[in-house]
């Protein structure tokens, strides 16, 4: 068990390179089981979740090698489509293997990924999507067995534009017979990245980034080399940290188009943000203004993954702001922790009413999930005094050594063993 100890109150300043996107890398690594050959994926962040995905692929018989930010996979020895239960429970994203393993082996055994700190996170849309392609699904307790003699393309209408369900259906449909059309598909940039990767392996998919995706099934997938897009949520985390500490930070390896909704909100609050190519500069020199109302919803609207981070920023503005969370029902666990640091936030069903305070104060707080943990780190950077963030394994799932990244920007932050000395 480790913790982060932060001496707050110092504006962040300097230049930082943003990691590759976790949420693009995970489905892309899963999709590579469609080929019997080798795949090289670049710009892969070295994170706990990525390592769990590689452990699963190894357990299924493939050869995996992570070196720096490059992953090399040799899928020729892949011989099982039964995901070990203990690995499945470690990471919800293992569900991404369902579609491609079903397509390659004609059957797949997975386990319910279970609940999660941010809400119920059902998989019904994944299952009904695969059923529509011809899969038969048997659920016994937490075991789910999915079989299909062949997958056949069809029209699928999603009740909700689920990111994971869209991706799972795309991967299975890529190898199905005929055409699949996914209506009300999620439009996140990570879905476009998956389309580009699958097409680099020989798939024929069009429309990712819009709400209608067309997949013409193919029989064979070939080896390829692919580079993952920059992580928009990691970039957003640095942008909000720069703004909340009234700093001046330049980000490299970002796609500003993927950050439009966040940039729009921060500019309304008075933060100066300038982009050029894959570089962005963020500056905030005075107390930001409140932003009346923000509603999280699927891309291109304001991302639920940025909600807790933005809340820290808003808690330091000059008035009352409201955030309405519409994607996950249980995503306000960080409010209690932020309140212990002096934030004035009231939760009313799925809305948080945030009354800006002049400053936050250091405290010992607990990360309850990945983005909530990152939000507490930002709160610690902006606060007066010392903040200790515990349960940081949640943060390590999505950020590559967050303390090293922030220390490069002048933050006073160290990782310590929960008992004592630095690591």
Footprint of ligand UD1 on 16-35 (CB under 6 A) = 23, 26
Token pair, residue 242, equals 């720069």
Please state the closest distance from residue 27 (CB atom) to ligand UD1, in A.
Answer: 7
16 vs 76: CA distance, rounded Å? 38
Residues 6+ apart with CB under 8 A from 420: none
Could you give the strand order of the β-sheet that contains 63-67, starting from the edge strand earlier in sequence?
Answer: 63-67, 70-74, 38-42, 224-227
Under the binding rule (CB under 6 A), the answer on residue 374 touching ligand UD1 is no
Nearest to 402 by CA among 128, 5, 1: 5
Under the binding rule (CB under 6 A), the answer on residue 372 touching ligand UD1 is no
Under the binding rule (CB under 6 A), the answer on residue 119 touching ligand UD1 is yes
Under the binding rule (CB under 6 A), the answer on residue 373 touching ligand UD1 is no
How many CB atoms neighbour CB 334 within 10 A? 28
Under the binding rule (CB under 6 A), the answer on residue 368 touching ligand UD1 is no
Could you give the strand order of the β-sheet that contains 155-157, starting from the edge strand earlier in sequence?
Answer: 155-157, 179-183, 212-216, 204-206
Number of residues that bind ligand UD1 (CB under 6 A): 23
Token pair, residue 360, equals 């936050």
End-to-end CA distance of the chain: 11
87 vs 111: CA distance, rounded Å? 10
Footprint of ligand UD1 on 167-186 (CB under 6 A) = 186
Under the binding rule (CB under 6 A), the answer on residue 164 touching ligand UD1 is yes
Of 116, 146, 224, 284, catalytic: 116
Under the binding rule (CB under 6 A), the answer on residue 208 touching ligand UD1 is no
- Select the residue whose beta carbon is closest to ligand UD1 and give its number: 164
Footprint of ligand UD1 on 67-96 (CB under 6 A) = 93
Footprint of ligand UD1 on 299-338 (CB under 6 A) = 303-305, 327-328
Query: Of 31 and 218, which CB lies nearer to ligand UD1 in the complex structure?
Result: 31
**Which one among 124, 257, 272, 418 touches ligand UD1, defined by CB under 6 A?**
124
Under the binding rule (CB under 6 A), the answer on residue 126 touching ligand UD1 is yes
357 vs 343: CA distance, rounded Å? 7
Which residues lie near ligand UD1 (CB under 6 A)?
Answer: 23, 26, 93, 119-126, 160, 162-165, 186, 190, 303-305, 327-328
Q: List the catalytic residues.
A: 116
């Amino acid at each position: 068990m480790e913790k982060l100890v932060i001496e707050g109150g110092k504006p962040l300043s300097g230049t930082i390179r943003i990691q590759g996107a976790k949420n693009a890398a995970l489905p892309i690594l899963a999709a590579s089981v469609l080929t019997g050959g080798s795949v090289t994926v670049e710009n892969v962040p070295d994170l706990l979740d990525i390592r769990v995905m590689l452990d699963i692929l190894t357990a299924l018989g493939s050869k995996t090698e992570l070196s720096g930010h490059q992953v090399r996979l040799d899928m020729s020895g892949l011989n099982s489509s039964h995901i070990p239960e203990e690995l499945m429970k470690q990471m919800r994203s293992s569900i991404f293997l369902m579609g491609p393993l079903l397509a390659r082996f004609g059957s797949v055994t997975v386990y319910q990924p279970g609940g999660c700190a941010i809400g119920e996170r059902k998989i019904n849309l994944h299952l009904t999507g695969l059923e529509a392609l011809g899969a038969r699904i048997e659920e016994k307790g937490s075991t789910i067995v999915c079989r299909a003699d062949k997958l056949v393309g069809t029209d699928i209408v999603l009740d909700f534009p689920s990111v994971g369900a869209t991706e799972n259906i795309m991967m299975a449909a890529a190898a199905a017979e005929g055409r699949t059309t996914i209506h009300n598909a999620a439009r996140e940039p990570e879905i476009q990245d998956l389309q580009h990767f699958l097409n680099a392996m020989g798939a024929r998919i069009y429309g990712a980034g819009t709400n209608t995706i067309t997949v013409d099934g193919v029989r064979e997938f070939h080896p390829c080399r692919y580079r993952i897009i920059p992580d928009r949520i990691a970039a957003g985390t640095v942008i909000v940290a720069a703004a909340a500490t009234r700093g001046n930070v330049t980000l490299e390896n970002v796609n500003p188009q993927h950050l439009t909704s966040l940039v729009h909100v921060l500019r309304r609050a008075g933060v100066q943000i300038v982009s050029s190519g894959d570089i962005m500069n963020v500056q905030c020199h005075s107390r930001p203004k409140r932003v009346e109302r923000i509603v999280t919803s699927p891309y291109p609207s304001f991302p639920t993954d940025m909600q807790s981070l933005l809340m820290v920023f808003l808690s330091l503005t000059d008035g009352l702001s409201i955030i309405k969370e519409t994607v996950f029902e249980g995503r306000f666990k960080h409010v209690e922790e932020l309140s212990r640091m002096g934030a004035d936030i009231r939760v009313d069903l799925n809305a948080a009413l945030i009354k800006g305070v002049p400053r936050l104060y250091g405290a010992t707080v607990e990360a309850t999930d990945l983005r909530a943990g990152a939000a507490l780190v930002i709160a610690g950077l902006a606060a007066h005094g010392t903040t200790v963030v515990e349960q940081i394994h949640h943060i390590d799932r999505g950020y590559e050594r967050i303390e090293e990244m922030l220390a490069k920007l002048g933050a006073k932050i160290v990782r310590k063993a929960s008992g004592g000395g630095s690591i």
